[in-house]
Amino acid sequence: MTDLTLTYDLEAVRADFPILSEKHHDDVPLIYLDNAASSQKPLKVIEAIDTYYRTYNANVHRGVHKLSEQATKAYEDARIKIRRFINAGSKREIIFTRGTTEGINLVAQTWGRVNLGVGDVVLSTVMEHHSNIVPWQILAAEKGFTIKYIPILEDGTLDMGAYAALLRDNSVKLVVVVHVSNVLGTVNPVAEMIQQAHAAGALALVDGAQSIPHMPVDVKALDVDFFAFSGHKMIGPTGIGILYGKREHLEAMPPWMGGGDMIETVRLEGSTWNELPYKFEAGTPIIAGAIGLGYAVDYLSELGMDKIHAHEQTITAYALERLSEVPGLKLYGPDAAQKGAVAAFSFEGIHPHDLAQILDSGGIAVRAGHHCAMPLHTHLGIPATTRASFYLYNTTQEVDALIEGLYKSKKTFAL
């Protein structure tokens, strides 16, 4: 039986997203199933950005004039909304970045640069997005530490036995792990992993790009040291993201980029740094983006992250069931119970790019490729997959349309 406390008015939600009533290729309805790449925006977010530019556009933390004060208040209010949304202890722990990628690079170039060297180990996983592999490789080439990767099991979950064994080596200084895989959809047991990392004397960084848009996240309960995510995947604008860091770590870390706003004093002989979080926000920040993200968080909170999660679980379970009935289709990753709102698959005889193109001609937007997870695809023994990914506004009818599109593609290829 459906738990009615965990449902919402889907039609009303869809009506909040103007793009969903646009026609694709001029005449077919848009069926947007590429939410893992980026999500659509509700009118409330679009209008918040529009209002900022139309009525109170000014730089922040600088002017004493009214517009600047108003812009500063809106920018800082957004930080407070985000603090509440992830249950951080202080707004000083919320750093505005350009997105997940920048957040991870920031930790690598500050905490990593100071704390990692020859003989140290960073533990990552085979299912990471490139943004949680490459920044560590760049730094490792310079600092001489080693990166080891937690393997994955046949069902697409992490090999937790191997993780425990890798941690026994006392040289692990940092564990970096994706919360929800953008390809397999695997929801990793990050709370348990963080606890184990701490017991082994290591810190933990979680890539929350695919979790925070879809499920309640409490950074305090997780006891995570660093948590990075992107605004554009959680109905907010592009160009804005968040790095959460425990205050004690952020206080001890040197700044990364230098410039305006991140300093306390500047003399020709040297400078001192501003307090948190401004130490890590050099230059004019992404003001409209931060304000827009604040409104996105309002929208998600008002609807309820538990309800959004429940809705997506229903859609994903339905999609997996229907996809598994399609002959010649192979799904990757664990079953619905352990999975985020992602279904990546290969389809016998049709290249993922061709498939995505045929689906697109019917108005269905999916992504094809390696999804910035080349090591994972190498592990799976395939160069690319087709991926449908769902969000709060998707419907079971849209899943049906995807299935129909797959059968049509089969016919097109005369398979």
Q: Which residues are catalytic?
A: 372
Nearer to ligand 7TS, 239 or 294 (CB): 239
Question: Of the two residues 71 and 315, which places its CB atom closer to ligand 7TS in the complex?
Answer: 315
Of the pair 210, 346, the CB lying nearest ligand 7TS is at 210
For residue 90, the SS3 value is coil
Q: Minimum Å distance from CB 369 to ligand 7TS?
A: 8
Stretch that binds ligand 7TS, among 99-107, 146-154, 270-278, 403-411 (CB under 6 A): 99-107
Token pair in block for residue 22 = 């646009």
Note whether 131 binds ligand 7TS by CB under 6 A.
yes
Q: Smaller CB distance to ligand 7TS: residue 120 or 360?
A: 360
CA distances from 117 to 136, 146, 227 (A): 12, 9, 22
Binding mask 173-212 for ligand 7TS (x = CB under 6 A): -----x---x------------------------x-xx--
| Mask for 251-290, x = binds ligand 7TS (CB under 6 A) | ----------------------------------------
CB 404 within 8 A of CB 354: no
Among the listed ranges 22-30, 97-105, 140-148, 350-358, the one in contact with ligand 7TS (CB under 6 A) is 97-105
* DSSP secondary structure letter of residue 95: E
Q: Which is nearer to ligand 7TS, 178 or 253 (CB)?
A: 178
Tokens representing 372 are: 């910035």
Number of residues that bind ligand 7TS (CB under 6 A): 16
- Least distance in Å: CB of 47 to ligand 7TS? 23
User: Min. distance of Cβ 156 from ligand 7TS in angstroms?
Assistant: 14
> Number of helices and strands (H, E) in the chain?
15, 17
Lay out the site mask for ligand 7TS across 327-366 (x = CB under 6 A, - = otherwise).
----------------------------------------
Among 39, 40, 101, 188, indicate the residue that binds ligand 7TS (CB under 6 A).
101
Residue with tokens 């600088």: 62
Of residues 15 through 54, those in contact with ligand 7TS by CB under 6 A are: 36-37
**Minimum CB distance to ligand 7TS, residue 131 (Å):** 4
Q: Which of 372, 374, 382, 403 binds ligand 7TS (CB under 6 A)?
A: 372
Structure tokens at 381: 């023994």
First-last CA distance in the chain = 39
Site string for ligand 7TS, 211-230 (x = CB under 6 A): -------------------x
Q: What is the CA radius of gyration of the chain?
A: 22
At its nearest, how many Å lie between ligand 7TS and the CB of residue 382?
16
Angle between helices 396-412 and 352-361 (to 10 degrees): 120
Contacts to ligand 7TS by CB under 6 A: 36-37, 99-101, 129, 131, 178, 182, 207, 209-210, 230, 367, 371-372
